Structure formats: C-alpha cells, structure tokens
A and B are shown apart, each in its own frame.
Chain A
Amino acid sequence: MQYLLTLHTAESGWAQMTKTDQEQAVGAYRAFTEALKQAGVLAGSNRLQPVSTATTVRVANGKSQVLNGPYADLKEQLGGYYLIDVADLDPAASHGAVEVRPVWGMPG
C-alpha cells in the first residue's frame, strides 16, 4: 500500500533558524530518507522550492487561468514529500509533522 507523506512547515521559521539548527534539520531529513531506503519502503521523495516560486493554475468556465502564488495561503507550507510503500497505516503514521494519505490504488 502506498502512502504519500507531505511535510508541512512554516517557511519563515527556516530563515529564523541558526545555521547549526538548519544543518541539524537537514541532517534529520537525510537520516530519515536513509532509514526509509534501508527499510526498502521509499518509492520517491523531493524537497520543494519555497511557495514564493509557486504558480497556480485554475480552470474557470472551461478556461485555464495561470496565477502567481500557492494554491492556498496557509501559515504552514508544503515543503516536500515522501512516497512510501508499507503494509498499513501504523508504520506510515509513525513519523513527525506530516499528513499521511493513502494513494488511490491503481489497477494491477
């Protein structure tokens, strides 16, 4: 069963962190990624550029409209994701500040 773990953090918080704290955070993500690889459950992962680089496309009356900015303006932003493949929700839901969503099952 595949689950998408989306990571949500306040981007402004990152800039306020000391260099050491930033390095520590990056190290923690690396360690987590490595652990997922070791366990053989990692199906994909990426860190995203800040929302200031986001473009949103909306469709209204059959016409698509391209807009500057994120889809939703929230206090915390989507900063990255892991796609993992595990047996059930419990191993998927045992990590940090993430939203866990089962992936819609594809035929086959």
Chain B
Amino acid sequence: MSSRDGDAQARTTADAVARRSYGKLIAFLAARTRDVAAAEDALAEAFAAALADWPEKGCPANPEAWLLTVARRKLIDGARRVAHRQDAAAELQMLAEGIDAAAAASGIPDRRLGLLFACAHPALDAGIRAPLILQVVLGLDAAAIASAFLMAPAAMGQRLVRAKHKIRQARIPLRIPERDELCERLAPVLDAIYAAFAEGWVDPTGADVARRDLAEEAIYLGRLVTALLPREPEAFGLLGLMLHAEARRRARRSAGGEYVPLAEQDPALWDTAMIDEAEAALLHASGLGAIGRYQLEGAIQSAHMHRRRSGEANWSAVVELYDALLRLSGSPVVAINRALALAEASGALAGLQAMDAVAGDPRLNEYQPYWAGRADLLAKTGAHDAARHAYDIAIGLARDPAVRHFLQLRQSALKGSRHG
C-alpha cells in the first residue's frame, strides 16, 4: 500500500469513527470528571495521533478502543499537569480504572444520553443548549455552529466555553434523570434538538453546507434519543415531525430556485420513505398514551401529507390539531398558523378574523410568517392597500432571499401596483 493510500484510508476511518463515536467517547471520558472541555481536548489529540500513526502502521482492528486508550492517556497526563488538589490522585486513579475496565470489555458503554441531558440542563442558558449539543455530542466545530446560528465565531466559542465551565464547576451531572423528573427534563433536550433542526430547515436548497448538515444531525439525534428512550412519546413525536418536514425538502424550491409554498408543492417530490418512517414514529408515539406538543406538530405535518394519498389537503383536520396545540401552548405563533389553516378550510375572511383576535400581541411585531400570512389573506379578501403594507413588512423581515422574491412577486401582482 502506498503511503498516500494509507493516508487516505486512515483519514476515512478516522472520519467515520468521529462521526459515529464522537459523542460516545466524549460522554465516556467526561462521565466521572464532568470536564467536557478536557475530554474534547484529549480526544482531539487522539484523533491527531491516529492520523499520524494509522497511515504507517495500518488502521487498528478496533479504532474506537484505540482512540479511547490514547485519549485516556492524554486526559490523565493533562490532569496530572494541573493537579494541585490532594484528592486529584485518587480521582485520577478511579478515572484510569474506569476507562481501563471499559476498554477491556468488548464495547464502550453508550452514555451519550447522559451527556445530552447535561448539555440541555435547565441550569444552562437556553440559547446555548442546542449549540452545545452539536459541539459536544456530534463534534461539530465552533465556527460551523456559529455560522449556522448566525453568531460571530468568537462569541459562540466564548459561550460554549462558559457553558462547559459551568457543567464542571457547578457539577451538573452527566446522567439520565430519575423517572419522576425525566419527562420535565426531556423537554429541553428535545427543544434543543428541534432548535438545531429549525436552523438547518431555513436553508432548503442546501447551499449552505453547515445548515443542511444541521437538519441531518438533528434527525440523527432524534433517532438516537428514541433508540435510547423507547417509551417516551414526545421523543417519537419530535422525530416524526422532523422527518415529515425533511421529506418535503426537494419540493420547497422550484427547479429555478424559487420558493414554493406548501399548498403549491408537488407531492410527487416528497420523500416517500421518510414519510413512512415519520408515520411509524407518530404511530408508536400515539400508542404510549401521553399527548404533547411535538406529537401534535407531527400530526399536523402528517395531515398535510394527506394530499399525497388523496390529492386533496385535509384542512379541517389541521385546524382541529392546531386547536389542541393552542390549548397546550397558548402561543401566538400557533394561533397564527391555526388562522392560516382556517383560511384554507373556511375562507380568507374567517382566517383574517381569527388572526385579528391575536394581532395585538407584541411578540408578532417582528414575526415574519405573521406578516406574510396576513398579507396573503388581505390580498384574497380584496383589501389591496392593507395587503401591500403587510407585504412591505414581511419582505423587510424575510431572511431567505427566495422567500423575499416570492413575496415581492405577490405584492406586485396586487391590483393598482406598478409593475417593474
């Protein structure tokens, strides 16, 4: 084998292990010390050592165990350098024994779920939980996470460091919460995964690689949580919701890159296999006997998919589901989506009246979909001046150029508009 082939193979193997096992190795290395940052440093050094060692000596039979052994040595060396507490020696000994015992056994125990619960602990700032999970559990680098969350890399890096520092200093445990608080503590884990998915969803063409990957990674985490907690209905609800949304990715833009609203999408472009998996997840969730936000949102997505089978959308079912979701959340965003579904079921005027009932909520002032939806309904009822004004606001708030262009076209099609 030439050295170039060896290099390429070593890199491929390292990449594959990194993708499959990164969070597992971090969770294992940090389980006792809760020092996530030190575990990350040690694992990074182990990967670097692998890229130097593997091309020469060939890839080891068990790359995961090889990396763990090297990372463990780096971790203990690092801890020894900064050890100044009397109990450090004992702690190091326990650490070494724990890691050795696991490396000797055939497999490394999967403690990723405990790591997920630590990263989404309510004692951490809500806004940093999703980025932290992406970095610590999936190994995404801070620059990619910063770009996906529209933050400066330095600021994102600093917030990630602060969060890891708090996990260590305040002793946030890396473990699955007890049964009686599991439900409450699972919610921020699911919310963080959904936040990651939503950031990836913003970019449907996948032009921005960091973003496209984010949706895939979130689905990966969703699958992981359902595999590790097979009795939690909301985990399956979230997975179903994400898969349904992801299934429509190809249909959300025309061949020319134009935005295509849901009602005008071609169901033939929806991903059938993904829809089937989503339906199976939602069905499993419904059998577990506790309804929740993500199951309802998943069910709404499922009702949209009705058009694939029947050729017609089932808007009255969508309205009913939004009613249930509104009772659960009381969110003005849900109320707006309900009003838009009502407009499809009972006409634009009914939708507009439902919208007016919540229009005073200041949280909607800068909520782009509200203004876009309002503009559309106003246009349909013939209130063209008011529609033009709402389009102006919606266009100003739109982050996505394709959406902006779509709204501009709609606005210029209004009666009395000057074209050009």
Question: A residues within 8 Å of B by Cβ?
Answer: 1, 87-90, 93, 100, 102, 105, 107-108
Determine the chain B residues whose CB is within 8 A of the CB of A108 once the complex forms. 85-86
Task: Contact check, B86 vs A90: say whether CB atoms are below 8 A apart.
Answer: no
Shortest A21–chain B CB gap in Å is 28
A85 to B347, CA, bound (A): 63
**Nearest chain-A residue to B172 (Cβ)?**
A89
Determine the chain B residues whose CB is within 8 A of the CB of A100 once the complex forms. 170
Report the 8 A-B pairs with minimum CB-CB distance, sorted nearest first.
A88-B171, A88-B173, A102-B170, A89-B172, A89-B170, A89-B171, A1-B171, A108-B86
Complex partner residue of B177 from A1, A90, A105, A107, CB under 8 angstroms: A90
Determine the chain A residues whose CB is within 8 A of the CB of B34 once the complex forms. 88
A35 to B169, CA, bound (A): 26
Shortest A108–chain B CB gap in Å is 6
Task: Contact check, B85 vs A107: say whether CB atoms are below 8 A apart.
Answer: yes
Task: Contact check, A88 vs B85: say whether CB atoms are below 8 A apart.
Answer: no
A102 to B34, CA, bound (A): 14
A90 to B84, CA, bound (A): 27
Given A102-B169, A102-B171, A89-B123 contact (CB < 8 Å): yes
A61 to B121, CA, bound (A): 42
A102 to B170, CA, bound (A): 5
Number of interface residues of B (CB under 8 A): 12
Shortest A3–chain B CB gap in Å is 8
Determine the chain B residues whose CB is within 8 A of the CB of A88 once the complex forms. 34, 171-173
> B residues 74-123 with Cβ under 8 Å of A?
84-86, 121, 123
Per-residue A-contact encoding for B160-181, CB less than 8 Å = 1, 0 else: 0000000001111100010000
Residue of B121, B123, B170 most packed against chain A (CB within 10 A): B170
Determine the chain B residues whose CB is within 8 A of the CB of A107 once the complex forms. 84-86
A102 to B165, CA, bound (A): 12
A100 to B171, CA, bound (A): 11
A sample of 19 more A-B contacts (CB under 8 A), given A89-B123, A90-B173, is: A1-B171, A87-B171, A87-B173, A88-B34, A88-B172, A88-B173, A89-B121, A89-B170, A89-B171, A89-B173, A90-B172, A90-B177, A100-B170, A102-B169, A102-B170, A105-B85, A107-B85, A107-B86, A108-B86
26 A-B contact pairs sorted by A residue (CB < 8 Å): A1-B171, A87-B171, A87-B173, A88-B34, A88-B171, A88-B172, A88-B173, A89-B121, A89-B123, A89-B170, A89-B171, A89-B172, A89-B173, A90-B172, A90-B173, A90-B177, A93-B123, A100-B170, A102-B169, A102-B170, A102-B171, A105-B85, A107-B84, A107-B85, A108-B85, A108-B86
**Nearest chain-B residue to A101 (Cβ)?**
B170
Determine the chain A residues whose CB is within 8 A of the CB of B86 once the complex forms. 107-108
A1 to B172, CA, bound (A): 11
**Nearest chain-A residue to B178 (Cβ)?**
A90
Shortest A22–chain B CB gap in Å is 31
Determine the chain B residues whose CB is within 8 A of the CB of A105 once the complex forms. 85
Shortest B91–chain A CB gap in Å is 12
Shortest B359–chain A CB gap in Å is 33
Shortest B406–chain A CB gap in Å is 47
**Nearest chain-A residue to B34 (Cβ)?**
A88
Shortest A96–chain B CB gap in Å is 15
Determine the chain B residues whose CB is within 8 A of the CB of A90 once the complex forms. 172-173, 177
Determine the chain B residues whose CB is within 8 A of the CB of A93 once the complex forms. 123
Determine the chain B residues whose CB is within 8 A of the CB of A89 once the complex forms. 121, 123, 170-173
> B residues 16-48 with Cβ under 8 Å of A?
34
Shortest B256–chain A CB gap in Å is 53
A93 to B177, CA, bound (A): 13
A93 to B170, CA, bound (A): 10
Shortest B162–chain A CB gap in Å is 15
A101 to B177, CA, bound (A): 21
**Nearest chain-B residue to A105 (Cβ)?**
B85
A87 to B173, CA, bound (A): 9
Shortest A83–chain B CB gap in Å is 15
Determine the chain A residues whose CB is within 8 A of the CB of B84 once the complex forms. 107
A107 to B86, CA, bound (A): 7
Determine the chain A residues whose CB is within 8 A of the CB of B123 once the complex forms. 89, 93
A100 to B169, CA, bound (A): 12
Per-residue A-contact encoding for B187-203, CB less than 8 Å = 1, 0 else: 00000000000000000
A89 to B177, CA, bound (A): 12
A32 to B76, CA, bound (A): 41
Shortest A102–chain B CB gap in Å is 5
**Nearest chain-B residue to A104 (Cβ)?**
B169
Shortest A68–chain B CB gap in Å is 35
Determine the chain B residues whose CB is within 8 A of the CB of A87 once the complex forms. 171, 173
Shortest A101–chain B CB gap in Å is 8
